[in-house]
Structure 1
Amino acid sequence: MRRDTFLKSLAAFAAVGAGALPVSAQAASAIKMMLPANPGGGWDTTGRALGKALLDAGAAASVTYDNKGGAAGAIGLAQFVNGSKGDPNALMVMGAVMLGGIITGKPPVNLSQVTPIARLTSEYNVFVLPANSPFKSMAEVIAQLKKDPGSVKWGGGSRGSTEHIAAAMLAREVGVDPAKINYVAFRGGGEAIAAILGGNVTIGGSGYSEFAEYIASGKMKPVGVTSNQRLKGVDVPTLKEQGVNVEIGNWRGVYGAPGISAEQRKALVALVEKAVKSAAWADALQKNGWTPAWLAGDEFGNFVDNEFASLRATMVKAGMV
């Protein structure tokens, strides 16, 4: 064989070999994690916990993070859609809050443009009062809400977040026009926590994990959870126990970039699945009080579509849409 022919053949073989391995090899080398919220909130915590689990499980050689908060995740989603096309190493954390934000904000981007990978966790919201609040219970807050809706400032995530929807549902259930609730939206969990601790809002809502350390230290007083029954190991009454028929859950997951191949998607699912089986992820679940809720690929995509329709119906009923 002539030397130039041999070199061409070797190059062709190398190209074939590179094409056969790139998905797992590339995805395992350097994961880029879009966190469409400011530091300190649930998406940020989830993404960084997943990144640590990817590293500890040997599913990634490195993980970098990009926080881009605002508009219930729509700003980060837009950046992810426009900046990550075809990138098999890219992941974006998202969840029920993003669906609510898309319904209320109607941004020019949506989840149909990106690739569903997996649902990771589920949890319920808790409403809390600052430690120095003049109110001592949800019943007292509701009494004030009925008397003067605008005087009760509800603090939480972006408009359309599960805590925003829960507040609107609660108002409707107790006979208050949901359009009259005074909801203060924050760009991230850290901002909401600071506002609650500072007494700048009357009552705050978020996933239990975000408030757990402040509840434990006595800096926040929990007055109701949005679950059907009391959370395990958490002595907080449900809203239903208190005569308010409101139940709404939160969940979080990850999406891949637009335009990745079926094989690249399969590889990302495998990487994330390996991570959630790690000891690091088990520690994160325990520390944050998350419930594992694994659902992958098309099943996750179908779940999101159904959740979108259900959430929109709930928001219409609550007068938010």
Structure 2
Amino acid sequence: MRRDTFLKSLAALAAAGSLPLSAQAAVAIKMMLPANPGGGWDTTGRALGKALQDAGVASSVTYDNKGGAAGAIGLAQFINGSKGDPNALMVMGAVMLGGIITGKPPVNLSQATPIARLTSEYNVFVLPANSPFKTMADVVAQLKKDPGSVKWGGGSRGSTEHIAAAMIAREVGVDPAKINYVAFRGGGEATAAILGGNVTVGGSGYSEFAEYITAGKMKPIGVTSPQRLKGLNIPTLKEQGINVEIGNWRGVYGAPGITAEQRKALTAMVEKAVKSKAWAEAIQKNDWTPAWLAGDEFANFVDQEFASLRATMVKSGMV
């Protein structure tokens, strides 16, 4: 084969995403972060972007934060603005499923392309350092006395912390429809509200509160995991007599309309990134649990999670 013919063939394969990963040039990735800066999706997306570059599969990564409606605003922009783009990624997770169930937006995840689940994390509930309450039992006692007086702060409506708060109410005999849940567009806003004492109790992944817990500015009073988180002295809700367990996972989707080969190439890039040193450092720093699941297995998992979350939310009076 002539050299110019070979090079043209190589270029055509690369454009189609058919080359082995080792033969593909690093590409410019566009990362949709469907939340405001400072939250779990933002942290995950930027950590993944760094890992993609560290792994040598991305030459650059640009980020677009579009918060609101549990990610539905960012999802809509991603679906409408990234069609057929093999280098576009969007961070998402359990929170987006909950938001779609409660908000019923005109767009749906089924319009985008499932790539992989990356991490899992349980929710931690915290009190501001100057709170008159000291324990989850104190919060529950007040909740039983006057449900509306307890302001729960966290992510968008339908987030895992919102669902957990409703489940806690149901488990202690309070009508979940009466809980006073204050939704924030991003983790940064929620953290500021907790630190400022503008909510009674806050909920999120441990990674978002870690520095404030360590500094004594927040007091953790319960975690939604089946057992205590490794190395952390935070009691589970279950050991406090509240039968609530719920996890918060995060993953990435590709653009609508990409080919099977482009999806395969994008998945391989992300898989290489999560094996990088930069990603290992992010996992350790944020206390994330690796939860890799890709391809059709991930797509099936999302479908099952959607059905399970909907059932839980209906039972808790949220839908």
Task: Call closer, same or farther: CA 1:55–1:128 in 2, change over 3 Å.
Answer: same
Structure 2, unpaired ranges of 5+: none
Matches of 1:14 and 1:27, distance apart in 2: 14
Residue 18 of structure 1: how far off its partner (Å):
2.4
Matches of 2:238 and 2:7, distance apart in 1: 63
> Counterpart of 1:247?
245
Matches of 1:77 and 1:124, distance apart in 2: 24
Task: Call closer, same or farther: CA 1:107–1:12 in 2, change over 3 Å.
Answer: farther
SS of equivalent to 1:52: helix
TM-score by length of 1: 0.95
Matches of 1:27 and 1:227, distance apart in 2: 41
Q: Deviations over 1:46-68 (max 9, x none)?
A: 00000000111101100000000
SS of equivalent to 1:31: strand
> Counterpart of 1:6?
none
SS of equivalent to 2:209: helix
Matches of 1:48 and 1:305, distance apart in 2: 26
> Counterpart of 1:17?
10
Matches of 2:170 and 2:312, distance apart in 1: 11
> Counterpart of 2:26?
28
Counterpart AA for 2:10: G
Matches within 5 A, 1:61-140: 61-140=59-138
Residue 26 of structure 1: how far off its partner (Å):
7.7
Task: Call closer, same or farther: CA 1:283–1:66 in 2, change over 3 Å.
Answer: same
Structure 1, unpaired ranges of 5+: 1-8
TM-score by length of 2: 0.96
Q: 1:209–1:289: 8 Å Cα contact kept in structure 2?
A: yes
Identity %: 86
Matches of 2:166 and 2:26, distance apart in 1: 43
Counterpart AA for 1:123: E
Q: Deviations over 1:211-250 (max 9, x none)?
A: 0110000000000000111000110000000000000000
Matches of 2:56 and 2:141, distance apart in 1: 54
Counterpart AA for 1:52: K
Residue 89 of structure 1: how far off its partner (Å):
0.3
> Counterpart of 1:212?
210
Q: Does 1:295 align with 2:288?
A: no
Counterpart AA for 1:174: V
Residue 11 of structure 1: how far off its partner (Å):
8.5
Matches of 1:129 and 1:218, distance apart in 2: 11
* Bigger radius of gyration: 1
> Counterpart of 1:233?
231
> Counterpart of 1:184?
182
Matches of 1:29 and 1:258, distance apart in 2: 19
Q: Does 1:313 align with 2:311?
A: yes
> Counterpart of 2:145?
147
Q: Deviations over 1:101-137 (max 9, x none)?
A: 0000000011100000000000100000000000000
Q: Count the aligned residue pairs.
A: 313
Counterpart AA for 1:112: S
Q: Deviations over 1:141-196 (max 9, x none)?
A: 00000000000000000000000000000000001000100000000000000000
Counterpart of 1:157 (choices 155, 158, 174) is 155
Matches of 1:111 and 1:271, distance apart in 2: 21
Counterpart AA for 1:18: A
Task: Call closer, same or farther: CA 1:250–1:295 in 2, change over 3 Å.
Answer: same
